[in-house]
Chains A and B, each alone.
Chain A
Amino acid sequence: MVPLNWYLMLSATVFMIGVFGFLTRKNIIIMFMSVELMLNGVNISLVAFSHYLQDLRGQILVFFIITVAAAEAAIGLAIIIALFRNKSTAHVDEMNEMKG
């Protein structure tokens, strides 16, 4: 049987690759995809914990995370479309209407 720690390390790696993408990419859509990557990292650890604890709570939480991720994607992409209509850019470093 695969040790639980292997799953946890995989989950941490996926999560941190997401953090890296969020902190360094210019493109908003890719930043948003990095957040989805982080959520997937969390989901891996939750499902693994759930399996090894023989408890379904973790999987219930994963179910809700996927639901919220879908809602978040709809709203996030709507915000990107609204932004794109007014200013044809998808780069964070060009978002400088406000300074201080």
Chain B
Amino acid sequence: MLAKLFFGYYAAVIILLSLLVVTRKNPVRSVMWMLLLFFHIASLYLFLNAEFIAAIQVIVYAGAILVLFLFVVLLLNLREELKVKRFIGSWPAGLFVSAAILAIVINVIRSFVLVAPPGRYSIEYIKEATHTKALGTILYTEYLFPFEIASLVLLIAIIGAIVLAKRKTRSH
């Protein structure tokens, strides 16, 4: 019962904050609401026994990505931004499309029952091995290959940011 109450609070706040993020006129406010949203999502991960994911949600999403967003938002002309309309002309169509898809998806997953057999990482196992260690072990053994690809993706991000944003724009 208590768990359900907690979930109810987090679900309500997450949905409210998501709506605030996409509807605020001032992008700085959107970023700030998003920060709060990411903390709530991180707490939700704690409920699901995923401490490590909760930690990187805070460190990477809130600590790195949102700071980057904030930097770029500050480059914009905010005074200009507050004068123009926030939505495109045909926004009711967008609302209709997303609401319709949401209705379909909710309808499908409402009756979803888990059929796949449970794996070996039970709560007891993770409690004993600690979550970070359990995750780290399979990340560096079973999932070594995708891990290496991820390192290349990060390298591309470094190259890309430099190539696109550095000052000198023409060769010779």
Contacts and interface: CB of A to CB of B under 8 A. Distances in A.
**A–B touching in complex (CB under 8 Å):** yes
B161 A74 contact: yes
Contacts, number: 227
A88 B4 CA distance: 48
Contacts of B135: 56, 59-60, 63
B98 A20 contact: yes
Main secondary structure of the interface of A (DSSP, over half): helix
Given A5-B110, A20-B94, A74-B157, A60 B72 contact: no
A68 to B, nearest CB: 6
Interface in B77-135: 77, 81, 84-89, 91, 93-95, 97-99, 101-102, 105-106, 109-110, 112, 114, 116, 118-123, 134-135
Interface string B135-168: 1001100010010001001101110110111000
Interface residues of A, number: 70
Interface in B45-61: 45, 47-50, 52-53, 56-57, 60-61
Contacts of A7: 48
B95 A24 contact: yes
A6 B109 contact: no
Contacts of B157: 70-72, 74-75
Interface string A74-89: 1101111110100010
12 contacts: A6-B7, A9-B106, A12-B102, A18-B22, A19-B101, A21-B21, A25-B87, A37-B21, A50-B50, A67-B60, A67-B154, A68-B150
Interface of A: 1-2, 4-10, 12-21, 23-27, 29-30, 32-34, 36-37, 40, 43-44, 47-48, 50-56, 59-60, 62-64, 66-75, 77-82, 84, 88, 90-93
Interface of B: 3-4, 7, 11, 14-15, 18-19, 21-23, 27, 30-31, 34, 37-38, 41, 44-45, 47-50, 52-53, 56-57, 60-61, 64-65, 68-69, 71-73, 75-77, 81, 84-89, 91, 93-95, 97-99, 101-102, 105-106, 109-110, 112, 114, 116, 118-123, 134-135, 138-139, 143, 146, 150, 153-154, 156-158, 160-161, 163-165
